[in-house]
Amino acid sequence: MNKPIELSDELHFRCGVTSKNRMALAALTNQQSGDDGFLSEDEARWLERRAQGGFGIITTCAAYVSADGKGFDGQLGVASEEQGGRTESLARAISAAGALGLVQLYHGGVRSPARLTGVQPKSASAFSSTEENFEPPRALTSTEIPAVQQDFVEAAKRVVAHGFSGVELHAAHGYLLSQFLSSTMNTRADGYGGSAAARYRFVGEIVRATRSAIPKAVLGVRISPEDFGYARGLDLHDSLEVASRLAEDGADYVHISLWDIKRLTKKEPTRHPIPMFRAALPPEVPLIVAGAIGTRETAEMALGLGADMVAIGRAAIINPDWAKNVLTAGWVPDQPPLTPEQYLERAVSPTFINYLRRFKGMVG
């Protein structure tokens, strides 16, 4: 009988890299970088503090790989050598704390507004929407597709060269990679759209090229299993096939964004997604799970269902030492709201605090 997985257990990736435990800091939008995309001291401090707090993996916020892929104010960029070079001291600090530093690589696609990029948003296809402030995108041309794919590869090479342990490709939450996977946002007829396999092609080619470019670094991919929020046109069974293909193409792990660990799937409402995705992956490819995991109970629930690692979001904002303290019996994590002064004590900058005010009950 196999020994149950513990949060404190090491996790080995098939690229040869090992995480000291099964707890990761999830990639979190924070708007702390400069308008030029350069890493700020505030953002570095926030991430370094969580590395010191015991997490095995520290994932940066989504970092844009192309200038026209920027999606929000104060977003980190790794689209140039100058931007990537600014992250080197952060990579060293995360490593010195005993954690693996991963940069989440991203292109916003339709979610990259012209006010930030100066150009019309691009996506898998042109489409319209009735949502407020929607900017209709144009379809990437056949010559632009390989260029955008190469932007991901070059960004991965860049951050690994500057000391990070690897990258996580952001194919969730309705950003560009997710738009290609979508049956509603991708209506291409050139081999990159149509069937689920064709819609995966854009992502798969990036994964294979990135794997080849950083063979000894961690390569993970985050996906949305089903429609939620900006992630649309996603079928559960298609997403299971995506997970399987990602493993075949060289991903070291697959990360599913569930939003709520206790929620069952929409398509099969009597089944939980974690066992389904664990079964879709080979044993050597870990499954990382995020979704309102904030206590030892919910983290162990995820592991018990088949996850190999948990990604912690809001709970890590409030509890920078969550990964250390959760292993102590009886520890109860702090809950929101916190005052601005309490956030400052936790290495959360005024800019990040202001961003958190968008979420009900986070700032008191």
Domain spans in the chain, listed from the N-terminal domain onward? 11-333
pLDDT for 79 equals 98
Q: Pick the closest to residue 47 from 91, 10, 98, 77 (CA basis).
A: 91
Burial readout 271-306 (b: 16 or more C-beta within 10 A, e: otherwise)? ebbbebbbebbeeebbbbbbbebbbbebbbbbbebb
pLDDT digits (tens, 9 = 90+) for 33-82: 999 999 999 999 999 999 999 999 999 999 999 999 999 999 999 999 99
Give the residue numbers annotated as catalytic, written as ranges. 175
> Taking a C-beta distance cutoff of 8 angstroms, is the pair 347, 37 a contact?
no
Alpha helices in 134-215 (DSSP H): 144-161, 176-181, 196-213
Low-confidence ranges of the chain (pLDDT < 50): none
Q: What kind of architecture, by CATH, is found in domain 11-333?
A: Alpha-Beta Barrel (3.20)
Instruction: State the burial class of residue 8 (Cβ atoms within 10 Å of its Cβ: 0-12, 13-18, 19+).
Output: middle
Q: Which residues pair with 103 in a beta bridge?
A: 167
Q: What DSSP state is assigned to residue 30?
A: -
pLDDT for 358 equals 96
pLDDT for 1 equals 62
pLDDT digits (tens, 9 = 90+) for 316-329: 999 999 999 999 99
Q: Is pTM beyond 0.85 here? A: yes
Q: Answer positive or negative: Cα dihedral of 253, 231, 153, 280.
A: positive
pLDDT for 2 equals 77
Percentage of the chain surpassing pLDDT 90?
98
State the CB neighbour count (10 A cutoff) for residue 117. Answer: 18
Structure tokens at 191: 């081999």
Structure tokens at 84: 């990537």
